[in-house]
Structure 1
């Protein structure tokens, strides 16, 4: 299968390195308005460099395009690719508002191409294990979740991140990872309350999600942290607690509540999943879905629903009030 990339920044390089190491896949073009970025990725991969997407459409032979551009350009280039009959692998967030996201999904359906969205957290082994623990009933009824994702401000390297109209800020760009994971693992969200402070190089958010099943999650995201990038999740249920902390030597710990016969103490059982690049797993999965027509682990509608929760959080930040979400529905139902 032949692939092209539009957007040769950080995520463009991540996608490119996955493709060049993938069997039966050929990278046939890389494109960026910044000729230096395009040429640098061309040297790394051997794929021809372009500064015009239209020229790449005309001159390069490919079946799939990775859209790894800044978020505010996702809609424009996804629809251009769809019109040209190319399948699309788009980085998250799908778009910066629900209208654009719906147009992207409907446009790809109209032109008969697949649309995949890079919610890569679903491919991190420790997050997969947390969902499995919930699905298998190991935690009992899920009650309270705490999640955080913090790091330096990406706008220090890519200034567009500091423009809220182009990035959507820390909630839309960073917290959406945990929003999508928690919806996948815990269930649909009923209401959202958000706080967000943006001052200079600081963008901090704390969002509370109330799920339809009664679970509550406090989700934290922070751009401007002076230490290393880190993530943590703790999920407490009626039968036990599961936690993951990227700063711990073992990435996943399950604390089981002992039976009375064991005495009232907690036994902590670490689980250390083997490492494989989640991006490699994600992109290989999307390519396989194109080949055999199978349903992806994360659908375009999943990406739409994660964005819907994100937009509710931003509305709550603006109004200072909790925002109620519609009951579970698909994009098709919402647009009828």
Structure 2
């Protein structure tokens, strides 16, 4: 398989993870980076031996790029994604796909018209513990998935919001915990339980007076399969406690994962202190497997860096899918669903009613 000529737009914190993956993956020929700040682009270029640019259009033209990874702040995903698609390059954007449905739709339309792939990072689907859950659900071991519970008690300190000027503001971030910290698990909820009928929700700022946006949100979801879901997402618990996703079935069996325990964000730096592991497994005849699953998860944690490993796996899948012409792990259409979900929660509080999905972009306002 020939290598994919790949470039990165966005040389910030998450961009470091993408660049490291592109430099190591055998499927990639890492050729260029782009950032609005010349010094950032140059630093990445020097480190990885690629060409630096400050303008995506120039990079796409001069570097003959086949695939673009976008790791800018999420409100800035759309413009480079659309440019890349129109230039004939496949696109993989960080989560969330965008801050608005209008941006999502513009990206999807550009990719459709150009005949290129558009994917969205949601690397927690690749956690071994999550893969076990998905295999069990798909095999019918829970009957039908009828209840999904996402609970996040986490913490972001003031320095986190001060680490980038766009954080914590409606105009530049588009939201808070729902937009930035919840997308992984919102994605997992819809991945496990399927299409959503409607969402009711509320948000608040409980413990961060220096920011405008939500640090806590709660929601109830009704799925088209008749199932229900609940969301409690907060970054106002100090220190962070845990993040969990539990799926319950029509036969009474349950499976679950604790994706974060002891995760803290001090001065904008993440520290993952414990592995993601299955914390619930009541499938008849398989209850005894839970301790073995947890031992495997801890062994994985000791061997790899979870902040980079699963990103690299999804980027590798994207590059292989581009070359092999097969489906992406997470498509742009799936990425849009997550944006619909947090948009619905914000709208539900504003309009004091449940919000039906799908949502058209013109209904965002």
Asked if these proteins are the same fold (TM beyond 0.5), I'd say yes
Shift of 1:50: 2.0
Which of these residues, 11, 19, 24, is aligned with residue 8 of structure 1?
11
Deviations 1:270-308 (A, max 9, x none): 313445621111000010110011011211111122222
What SS is found at the alignment partner of 1:76?
helix
What SS is found at the alignment partner of 1:162?
coil
Q: What's 1:185 paired with?
A: 192
Shift of 1:97: 1.9
Q: What's 2:265 paired with?
A: none
1:140-289 to 2 correspondences below 5 Å: 140-149=143-152, 150-152=154-156, 154-169=160-175, 170-198=177-205, 199-201=209-211, 203-228=215-240, 230-237=242-249, 238-245=251-258, 246-247=260-261, 251-256=277-282, 269-270=290-291, 271=293, 272-273=296-297, 274=300, 277-289=309-321
Shift of 1:220: 2.3
Q: Is the 8 A contact 2:111 2:117 kept in 1?
A: yes
- Runs of 4 or more, structure 1, over 6 Å off, are none
What SS is found at the alignment partner of 1:159?
coil
Q: What's 1:137 paired with?
A: 140
Deviations 1:119-146 (A, max 9, x none): 2222222222222221122223434332
Q: Is the 8 A contact 2:10 2:34 kept in 1?
A: yes
1:303 aligns with 2:335: yes
The TM-score normalised by the length of structure 1 is: 0.87
Number of aligned positions between the proteins: 322
Instruction: State the alpha-carbon separation in 2 of the partners of residues 78 and 128 from structure 1.
Output: 29
The TM-score normalised by the length of structure 2 is: 0.80
What residue ranges of structure 2 are gaps of 5+ in the alignment? 262-273, 361-365
